[in-house]
Chains A and B, each alone.
Chain A
Amino acid sequence: MSLRALLPVAGFIIWAWAFVALYAMLSVGCRLGWEDVVIAGGLSLQRAQLIVIFIVHTGLLGMLAVFLKPRRHAGFFWRVSYCLSLAAVAATVFSFGWVFVLATCL
């Protein structure tokens, strides 16, 4: 079995990694007072770093889904991989999209 065997779960591995990164960096940022550090346009450093993490992971998931889409009819393995990548995109957006709006350290 090669690394290709991980394709079905690649999407949710990225989702899980986004979760770890966001939860960890949220805590680190609150501890280091990044919420009070304002950068461009009234955006705090805390929110900015969380948004960057969110965008990077959502982007990776998007790329994965785009890679799998033309292959989705090539058999069970590819179909399942593609469906799971879409599910991971939806899960990421719904689980972590709150970084744009909610108070970060309260």
Chain B
Amino acid sequence: MMSDPAGQGRMIASGRGPDSSAEADATVRPGAVALHRQLAAIWDTPKGLARLSAVNHTILGKRFMLAAFVFFAIGGLLAMLIRVQIATSTSGFVGPEIYGQIFTMHGTVMMFLFAIPMFEGFAIYLLPKILGARDLAFPRLSAYGFWCYVFGGGILIIALVMGVAPDSGWFMYTPLSSSTYSPGVNADVWLLGVTFVEISAITAAVEIVVSILKVRAPGMTLDRMPIMAWYLLVTALMMLFGFPPLILGSILLELERAFDLPFFDPNRGGSPLLWQHLFWLFGHPEVYIIFLPAAGAISMIAPTFARHELVGYRAIVVAIVAMAFLSFGLWVHHMFTVGIPHLALAFFSAASGLVAIPTAVQLFAWIATIAQGRPRFSVPMLYLGGFFGIFVIGGLTGVMLAMIPFNWQAHDTHFVVAHLHYVLVGGFVFPMMAATYYWLPHFSGRLSENRISVTAFWLIFVGFNVCFFAMHLTGLLGMPRRVAFYPATAGWDWLNLVSSVGAFVMAAGFALFVIDIVVQLLFGVHFRRNPWGARTLEWAMPTPPTSYAFASLPQVGDRADRIDVATAGARLARGDGYLGFARNGWMETLAVDPASGAAEQLLVLPQRSFKPLWSGLATCAFVLCLLFKLYVLSLVALALVIVSLLWWTAGMGSRKDLGPLPVGQETMLRPHWETRRPPSWWAMAFTCAADATLFASLLFGGLFLWVTAPAWPPAINSVPGVLPAIGAGLAVLIAMLAGRLSAARLTAGFSPAIWLALCFCAQAAAALLFFMMAMAVPDRTTHAFQATMLVMLAGGGIRAAIGLLLAGYGLWRLHAGYLSAQRCADLWIARIWHDHAAITGLIALLATQAAGWALVAPGG
């Protein structure tokens, strides 16, 4: 028992796991200091090696952002090397091979290792605080994502240092990146390393979506959420649908390089355009994924410094949803010159111009907010001013590039480089720097006098414009991208020299920025809280924030940017809200109905653990085995990954029904494992949506090759066996029905054992049959059709194998006593996967059979 020295609250038996009985709620709540000590004892992460077991969102958010900033510095250094190389036409700094690695890694590092993880870290740090929760829905998933990011990024940087970095451009176009023209390990480093990092992005996306929908303060309906939550929700949903095409493309290209499956080889029915479509289907939403969180930050910063509520909250929500959808219809504007029919180009040109409208809606909302307020022009506002100027210029050149005739002149010139830097630096880097100055007092609990902040800003702003504005002209004069040398007779020398000088001025500004931040962190003046007079929940807590964020959780009755921070902070610290006590050593927060915000579940979060680190290391081992072509060993590593992830579930849930538990405010809620739709149910649903996108990309990729690739139809003599196909189809259907019945029977109070066993056997049969059919595809390296069939059937087998694991897990949980009519979530979650595996499996079977019979040679 923990002691209760102040005698102000009845303490609960402490234990590490939810199997301990909840004896009672605290009928007399502890005071603020005692409550803080109790919560800190549960939520704090000890120092030393134990920090590697951290799952706390504040720690992980800061780690993500710090790591992202380190990668930004590396990317920036690479940029300086680029500018040194092309400052003049007579530069002999590096040769073309090394230069290829430098510009490829500059783009790759900035896009994959800086921008996305920076926003992820920002979201992980900030979301629970602005939503009135103690942590995100899946703390260990955040930790696992962090390790995947750091290890994946490490592989790329080590390759750079060793001189084998990817060198085919950050977008890795085939056939340059295929094994014929890039025989070394360089391209494999990109394909495997970036895919490894993308695991982190997908896990973060699932975490963010589920946390925003489910883990909010009670009473926070969707229209009361802080606007940043809307931005992050839309961004994370875009990631779920935008990243799978890239993951698929990377898998297919790696299969082509490793096993000669000709997806992108036009001599064998493949097409280089398939890579471009898959890449840019990811690549264009990617830049909006980068922009939207920054826009969210602006939407929080501008009202605070304008001292006026955000104008046009509803209009902004409409605009960002429209922008999210439109951004998925623009990708071909990166491919206007490849020979696609004009009508199709017109679709993408129109959408590319159209997306400026929702962007403008947001800009005007911010301008209106500032215009209607009494603005204070502090350092964050300086960076917002920089954003306005630079981003608008970038947006205008974007509309220019959306016009096809102009695009045909400017494509692949430095005009495009200028445009992309104006929108990315203007639209992401400047708002992030504003956000850094705005929230740094929150991270650190200190303020600075900003003596060098203004100088740093002007150096960055002026240096940026000198560097990149000149590039518009360089591009219009015809200078192509990605060239290590250019002739003196081209007349580009003086413009490139100006750009390079500007780049060095900008670099000096960034160096001053770093010094400024370090000085604030080390020597800034301590203060109480909320120096800016903001009205959002993250300021209603001590700064630096505690590990548990809120000592008690608020009931929200109005929009979450109308908080009286001082009053709310004091009240919550006293424990006057929900969960104003410590119980069983549990890390508790609340889950709500997504739309109404009504409190629904008591969410008991997992304690800190080294398991995410072990899983990250196992995954890294798997990736390295693939990179070095140790395929048999990679299967061992894969087994370790699976075992390590299953190990996460040990001890989760309870062996007995606890029933509703008091959560404060005279409310009783069931723990999440006694509900049918805990947050993990939603996570499974969204993961299936991401996988469905990957499957659909493969299906449409196959259709694309059939319709547009040369060397079709293939000369094939056999069709995948009909009997195995029927068998596999029946097996996945039986597995789906058995999975549904197991969940229903358990909920009705009956044993699901027989249905789980049936599901297990059916998935085993399905997996076996799918893999047999995949291995039986003849001549798989001779034509893209066979290669696509193989991948489609193998994918069905993999999904059935995952279903097998889930059915087996259900049987184990039943045997171990973790399942009951109340504690049935495990089977409802698995049901989603069984349905998904069945639907995609049946479509894969129908598609392969239909395509096979349509193409088989007469008499074959």
Contacts and interface: CB of A to CB of B under 8 A. Distances in A.
B24 interface: no
A45 interface: no
A53 interface: no
B409 interface: no
Nearest to A2: B595
A60 interface: no
Contact of B223 (A16, A26, A30, A77): A77
Contacts of A80: 314, 317-318, 321
Contacts of B523: none
A70 to B, nearest CB: 18
Interface stretch (B488-496, B546-554, B699-707, B836-844): B699-707
Contact of B704 (A22, A27, A95): A27
B344 A23 contact: yes
A103 interface: yes
A67 B675 CA distance: 35
Contacts of B342: 102-103, 106
A19 B352 CA distance: 14
B707 A102 contact: no
B373 interface: no
A84 B318 contact: yes
Contact of B321 (A1, A84, A98): A84
Interface residues of B, number: 31
Contacts of A76: 221-223, 314
B597 to A, nearest CB: 12
B351 interface: yes
Interface string A12-39: 1001100110111011101100000000
Contact of B329 (A79, A95, A102): A95
- Give the most central of A28, A98, A99: most B CB within 10 Å: A98
Interface in A71-106: 75-77, 79-80, 83-84, 87-88, 91, 94-96, 98-99, 102-106
Interface in B305-319: 314-315, 317-318
Interface string B707-726: 11000000000000000000
Interface of B is mostly: helix
A5 interface: yes
Contacts of A27: 344, 704, 707-708
Contact of A94 (B223, B341, B343, B350): B350
A48 interface: no
A106 B595 contact: no
Contact of B318 (A87, A94, A98): A87
Given A5-B595, A96-B347, A19 B314 contact: no
Contacts of A83: 314-315, 318
B676 to A, nearest CB: 13
Nearest to B317: A80
A8 interface: yes
A26 B341 contact: yes
A26 to B, nearest CB: 6
A23 B281 CA distance: 14
B346 interface: yes
B137 to A, nearest CB: 16
Contact of A16 (B221, B314, B329, B358): B329
Contact of A15 (B325, B358, B593, B703): B325
A27 B339 CA distance: 12
B688 interface: no
B328 interface: yes
A26 B318 CA distance: 30
A28 B707 contact: yes
Nearest to A105: B341
- Give the most central of B328, B341, B350: most A CB within 10 Å: B341
Interface in B321-349: 321-322, 325-326, 328-329, 341-344, 346-347
B542 interface: no
A79 B318 CA distance: 9
A98 B347 contact: yes
A8 B325 CA distance: 12
A27 B328 CA distance: 19
Nearest to B213: A1
A24 B700 contact: yes
Nearest to A1: B594
Interface in B585-606: 593-595
Contacts of B501: none
- Give the most central of B222, B318, B595, B703: most A CB within 10 Å: B318
A96 B329 CA distance: 11
Contacts of A79: 314
Contacts of B318: 80, 83-84, 87
Contact of B343 (A24, A31, A84, A102): A102
B350 A104 contact: no
A103 B343 CA distance: 6
A23 B314 contact: no
Nearest to B712: A31
- Give the most central of A24, A83, A95, A103: most B CB within 10 Å: A95
B347 A23 contact: yes
Nearest to B708: A27
B679 to A, nearest CB: 13
Contacts of A96: 347, 350
B325 A9 contact: yes
B354 interface: yes
Interface in B274-321: 314-315, 317-318, 321
A91 B354 contact: yes
Contact of B322 (A26, A84, A99): A84
B343 A26 contact: yes
A91 B314 contact: no
Interface string B216-233: 000001110000000000
B347 A87 contact: no
A87 B314 contact: no
Nearest to A28: B707
B219 to A, nearest CB: 15
Nearest to A31: B707
B326 A91 contact: yes
A98 B350 contact: yes
A29 to B, nearest CB: 10
Contacts of A23: 344, 347
A103 B346 CA distance: 10
Contact of A30 (B341, B593, B700, B703): B341
Interface in A28-74: 28, 30-31, 50
Given A23-B347, A102-B342, A102-B343, 9 more contacts: A12-B322, A20-B700, A30-B341, A76-B222, A83-B315, A88-B322, A91-B322, A94-B354, A106-B342
18 contacts: A1-B593, A5-B594, A9-B321, A9-B325, A19-B329, A27-B344, A27-B704, A30-B707, A75-B223, A77-B595, A87-B358, A88-B325, A95-B350, A96-B347, A96-B350, A98-B346, A99-B343, A102-B343
Which 5 pairs of residues, A with B, have the shortest CB-CB distance? A76-B223, A12-B325, A98-B346, A95-B350, A83-B318
